[in-house]
Structure 1
C-alpha cells in the first residue's frame, strides 16, 4: 500500500525593508539633488587637467570623480548619459590659443554661463603655501556650503549667476542640518569695479575658545603626552608658550554651539570658526550667458555684439556638435 507524504510548502517571507528617503531627491526642496559632470572639450595642458581633477573633488560627493573622456565624445554623448544618471549641471573646461574658459551649464536645456579664467592656483599649490595643510579624507563626504558676496546689484546677469551657483549644490535647512556635515565652504566674491569673481574653497573647523593646541590634540587623539622634561603634570597645561599655541580669539569669529561636535567642541560653549583654504583658487570673469546648452540666444555678453560674436567663435572651437 502506497504511503502518502504530506509535503509542506515553505512560505516565502519578504524581508522587512525600512522606508528610506527617495534616492536622488532633496528633502528640503523636493527637487532632484544637484549632480554634476566636470569634463573638458578639446585638449588641455597639464595644469588645466589638474584643475579639472581639483574641480571634480570640490564637487564631491555628487559628481563623477573618475569620469572617462574620449576624443570622439561630443557634448550630446555627455547629455545622453546625464539624463539616466540624474546629472543636473555640466562644468566644462576648454582652452583657446590664448585663454582658458569655464562653462557652467544647466542640463538639459541650459542656460550656460561662460567664464574667462584670468588666474588660477591648483589645490596642491595652495597646500604647499601653508605651514600645516589640512585635508582629511572624510572632508569630502558632504557637499560644501555656498556663499556669494557682491552679486546683489540688481543686474540680470548677476541674478542668473547667483541662481546657477546656488542650485549647483544641495540646499540646506539651518534648523535640521547637522553641524558635523558642514566641513567645507565655497566662497564667490564679485568685485563691481573690476567685474571679476574670486572663487575660493575652504575647509571649516571649530576650535574651543581658550584651549591650547596641545590640550586639543590630547583630547582628540587620546594619546599620552611626552612629560619627561616636565617637573609636574600641571606644567603641561601652564607651560610657557601657551599663548602662542592658542590663537587669539576673535569675538566676531566665535559661535555658541547648539550641540556637541567632536570631543572638544561641546554644546553651549564658545568655539572659534577657522577657515583653511583647500583650493583650487580661481579668478573668473563672466563674459557670456546663453539660453541653451552651449548654444542658443545670447542673454548677456560682456563685449557687446561684436566682441560677443568673436568670443563665441573662440569658445566653440573645442566643442564638437553632431
Structure 2
C-alpha cells in the first residue's frame, strides 16, 4: 500500500529559556525580596509608616500582607524561604521610642535603629504645592545612595552592606533610564551619629526649554493662539520664553538614549528631585549576629547599664505581649 508523503516542512521550534524565579535575567544575581511587618502593639501612625515602607520597597515586597496578632517571628521565617524573602523590616514601639529592625534572613545579622523622628508620605505631600506621584512611579525599585558612611568603622560598613543588599543591583551598561524613577538617600552625620532617611522621585527636564513648550509636548494640548500675531510668539512671548528654570551645570546630565517625548539622546537635561516620603531620622543602637538574636557586634551605649536597659526594653515588652497572646488563645 502506497504511503502519502507529508510535504509540509517541519518548522524550527525555538527552545524556551526558563527564567529562574527571583533571579535577574540581566545581571544573574538574586533579586532581594522583603517583608515589612510589626511586632507588638503599635499606634496608627506607625501602622501608616509601615504601609509607606511597603510601598517604598515595591515591587519586590508583600504590599498587601495580612498580619495576625498571634504571628511570631518564626512564622514569618517559615514562609521566607519558599517565597524567596531575603530581608525583614520590623517596626515596634516601646514607652520610650519606636524602633526599626532590618534583618537578613535566615541567619542575620540584625540592625536595630531607634526612630527619633518620622514623617509619613501623606504629610510630605501635604507640605508641597504640587506633589508628584505618577502611576508607574513604583513599577521599578529605587536606587540607593549612601553618604557619610566611609569613616571605616566596622558598624558603618555593616550598615552600608545591609542597605545596599536590600535593593536590587543594577548594571550600568544595560539599565534603562526609564526605570530609574526613585531614589533612597541615607546620609550619616558623624557629629550627631544620626542617619537621615529620605525618599525622592526623579524627573528630567531638558535644559533651555520653556515650561510652556514642555507642557505642550507632554500633554498634547492645542495652544490658544488667538491673541498672538505669529506662532513664534508662543515661544518667545515675554514671561514664557525665558521661563525655564535656572539650571545648575552640576545637576545636568547628557542622555545616552531617548527618555519620553522631550528628553532626547545626546541632549542635556536637568535632574530634579522631589521628596515623596516617608522620611525618618534614625540612630543605629545595636547590631546582632543572628536574626534578632545572637552575639552583639555593636552597641551604641557601650557598657552603661542604664542605657542598655533601654535597648533591651523593646525585646522584653514584645516577648511579654507574645506570651499574653498565646495564653489568651489557649
Q: TM-score by structure 2 length? A: 0.89
- Asked if the contact 1:302–1:308 (Cα under 8 Å) also holds between the matched residues in 2, the reply is no
Which residue number in structure 2 is paired with residue 68 of structure 1? 66
The correspondence for 1:217, drawn from 215, 218, 224, is: 215
Matched, 1:269 2:267: yes
Matched, 1:181 2:179: yes
Which residue number in structure 1 is paired with residue 5 of structure 2? none
Q: Which runs of 5+ in 2 are unaligned?
A: 1-10
Distance 1:141 1:18 in 2: 26
Which residue number in structure 2 is paired with residue 318 of structure 1? 318
Which residue number in structure 2 is paired with residue 149 of structure 1? 147
- Asked if the contact 2:94–2:313 (Cα under 8 Å) also holds between the matched residues in 1, the reply is no
Q: Name which of structure 1's ranges 303-312 and 81-90 shifts more when overlaid on structure 2.
A: 303-312
Paired residues for 1:18-167 under 5 Å: 18-27=16-25, 30-167=28-165
1:165-222 deviations in whole A, cap 9, x for unaligned? 0000000111111111100000000000000000000001110000111111111122
Q: Name which of structure 1's ranges 15-24 and 187-196 shifts more when overlaid on structure 2.
A: 15-24
1:32-80 deviations in whole A, cap 9, x for unaligned? 2100000011111111111111000000000000000010000111111
Which residue number in structure 2 is paired with residue 8 of structure 1? none
Q: Which runs of 5+ in 1 are unaligned?
A: 1-12
Question: SS in structure 2 opposite 1:245?
Answer: coil
- Asked if the contact 1:101–1:315 (Cα under 8 Å) also holds between the matched residues in 2, the reply is no
Aligned residues: 309
Distance 1:142 1:314 in 2: 34
- Asked if the contact 1:114–1:288 (Cα under 8 Å) also holds between the matched residues in 2, the reply is yes
What displacement does 1:316 show?
Answer: 4.4
- Asked if the contact 2:27–2:170 (Cα under 8 Å) also holds between the matched residues in 1, the reply is no
Question: SS in structure 2 opposite 1:139?
Answer: coil
Structure 1 pair 26/308, CA: closer, same or farther in 2 (3 Å)? farther
Question: SS in structure 2 opposite 1:124?
Answer: helix
What displacement does 1:106 show?
Answer: 0.3
- Give the CA RMSD over aligned residues: 1.9
1:246-265 deviations in whole A, cap 9, x for unaligned? 11011000011011111100
Q: Name which of structure 1's ranges 16-25 and 103-112 shifts more when overlaid on structure 2.
A: 16-25
- Asked if the contact 2:92–2:314 (Cα under 8 Å) also holds between the matched residues in 1, the reply is no
Distance 1:117 1:244 in 2: 44
